[in-house]
């Protein structure tokens, strides 16, 4: 389909707009004189996805077909761009998963369109309980430029983001080396001092991974990893607004400190997202318990083992938790993360024609999804108003 026309409500103005696209690119955005009950937004962008609905990128064995099925799950939830995330593991296991995801991008058009690069969260994180979260302590190790090179060879150059703790000796050199290659370096799961965090940002780190999580229960009131990351305007910060990772008042305060323009919503969803409550064996956290309220913990503790919320749920929860308007919550899940994936997530002439239309029903009820100008998902039960030609 070369030409397409979509009508919906602009979340910025609440007024109907008509977006015209050709060959997967937006060519005009104009006021529309038709009524619509559906909001029209750029597709959601999730910078941290471990899995969803039984699909687990960190399982012992994954395949290109499994990666494709995860892409389809993401599209059905309004996510048109996401970053597959691999956690701390032995090097050979990380490399095997990298090869599979790279193969999936090569074999399947939808994967190539939706997956800009791969995120390795760890293994260069804090080994201390609490700070390491659900990452297995046995495989945590210092950063190694040589190991990163082996990752990139396995991935065909597709590793585009690495989360690490900058407390290690040699962290500055590692961050500088990755930044020079165009890789996004993010600070997370860290007990680093404010000075070490500042040095990491000076070296090129530009993101904070799910700030407020991956921490010990008790931390120093001033000399802790939170304040420097909130204070440094060079860092954009991701938050998991699922209602479990951060209490509403903490999320609201952190968002005010960091500012909407530097805040990013991520799901951090794992394979148990969308699954029934119970005790499971997971690649992330081992024995874990999924509670009826959606909280996923390592069995026998309160330590979280990932999120079971979709990014669309996090957008709706951010509105409730922080008292912000829809347009700001969407910005944190479209434009802001889009700056790290080539400028995606914009509703503007010349931008990619990735869209969602949805109703606000306490959450984002996705009606249809467009990827590069092609309608790839429609909820027939909800139907759609507006025109799509």
Per-residue pLDDT of the chain (389 residues; tens, 9 = 90+): 578 999 999 999 999 999 999 999 999 999 999 999 999 999 999 999 999 999 999 998 899 999 999 999 999 999 999 999 999 999 999 999 999 999 999 999 999 999 999 999 999 999 999 999 999 999 999 999 999 999 999 999 999 999 999 999 999 999 999 999 999 999 999 999 999 999 999 999 999 999 999 999 999 999 999 999 999 999 999 999 999 999 999 999 999 999 999 999 999 999 999 899 999 988 778 899 999 999 999 888 888 888 999 999 999 999 999 999 999 999 999 999 999 999 999 999 999 999 999 999 989 999 999 999 999 999 865 444 433 33
Please tell me the predicted confidence (pLDDT) of residue 1: 52
Sequential DSSP letters for 300-359: TS--B--B---HHHHHHHHHHHHT--HHHHHHTTTHHHHTTTTS-S--STTSB--EEEEE
Please tell me the predicted confidence (pLDDT) of residue 382: 47
Spell out the domains of the chain, with CATH numbers in brackets: 3-39+360-378 (no CATH), 44-338 (3.20.20.140)
Distance CA(261)–CA(239), nearest Å, equals 13
- Between strands 364-371 and 355-360, the pairing is antiparallel
* Alpha-carbon torsion, ordered 147, 152, 154, 159, to 10 deg: 110
The helix/strand/coil state of 148 is helix
Please tell me the predicted confidence (pLDDT) of residue 387: 38
The C-alpha angle with vertex 296 and arms to 292 and 300, in degrees rounded to 5, equals 100
Question: What is the number of alpha carbons within 13 Å of residue 311 lying toward its C-beta?
Answer: 34
Is residue 183 within 8 Å of 160, Cβ to Cβ? yes
How far from 104 is each of 44, 57, 63, 70, 136, CA to CA, in Å?
Answer: 21, 12, 8, 11, 27
Please tell me the predicted confidence (pLDDT) of residue 388: 37
Q: What tokens does 388 get?
A: 């799509």
Q: What tokens does 224 get?
A: 């802790």
The C-alpha angle with vertex 290 and arms to 120 and 252, in degrees rounded to 5, equals 70
Nearest to 359 by CA among 81, 41, 114, 42: 41
């Amino acid at each position: 389909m070369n030409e397409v026309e979509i009508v919906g409500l602009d979340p910025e103005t609440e007024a109907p707009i008509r977006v015209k696209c050709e060959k997967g690119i937006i060519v005009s955005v104009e006021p529309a004189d038709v009524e619509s009950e559906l909001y029209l937004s750029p597709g959601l962008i999730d910078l941290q996805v471990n899995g969803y609905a039984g699909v687990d990128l960190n399982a012992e064995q994954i395949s290109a077909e499994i990666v494709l099925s995860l892409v389809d799950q993401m599209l059905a939830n309004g996510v048109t761009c996401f970053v597959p995330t691999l956690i701390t593991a032995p090097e050979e296991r990380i490399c095997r998963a990298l090869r599979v995801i790279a193969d999936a991008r090569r074999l399947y058009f939808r994967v190539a369109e939706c997956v800009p690069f791969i995120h390795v969260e760890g293994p260069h994180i804090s080994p201390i309980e609490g700070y390491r979260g659900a990452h297995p302590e046995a495989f945590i190790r210092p950063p190694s430029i040589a190991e990163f090179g082996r990752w990139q060879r396995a991935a065909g150059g597709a590793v585009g983001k690495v989360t690490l703790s900058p407390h290690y000796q040699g962290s500055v050199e590692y961050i500088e080396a990755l930044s020079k290659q165009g890789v996004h370096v993010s600070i997370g799961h860290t007990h680093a001092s404010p000075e070490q965090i500042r040095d990491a940002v000076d070296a090129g780190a530009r993101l904070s991974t799910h700030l407020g999580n991956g921490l010990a229960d008790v931390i120093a009131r001033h000399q802790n990893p939170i304040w420097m990351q909130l204070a440094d305007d060079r860092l954009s910060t991701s938050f998991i607004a699922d209602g479990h990772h951060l209490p509403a008042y903490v999320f609201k305060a952190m968002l005010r400190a960091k500012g909407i323009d530097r805040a990013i919503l991520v799901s951090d969803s794992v394979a148990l997202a969308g699954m029934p409550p119970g005790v499971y064996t997971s690649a992330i956290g081992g024995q874990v318990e999924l509670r009826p309220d959606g909280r996923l913990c390592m069995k026998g503790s309160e330590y979280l083992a990932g999120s079971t919320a979709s990014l669309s749920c996090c957008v709706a929860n951010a509105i409730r938790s922080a008292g912000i308007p829809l347009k700001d919550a969407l910005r944190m899940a479209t434009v802001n993360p889009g700056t790290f994936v080539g400028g995606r997530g914009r509703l503007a002439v010349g931008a990619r024609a990735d869209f969602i239309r949805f109703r606000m029903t306490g959450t984002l009820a996705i009606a249809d999804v467009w990827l590069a100008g092609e309608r790839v998902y429609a909820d027939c039960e909800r139907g759609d108003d507006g025109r799509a030609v």
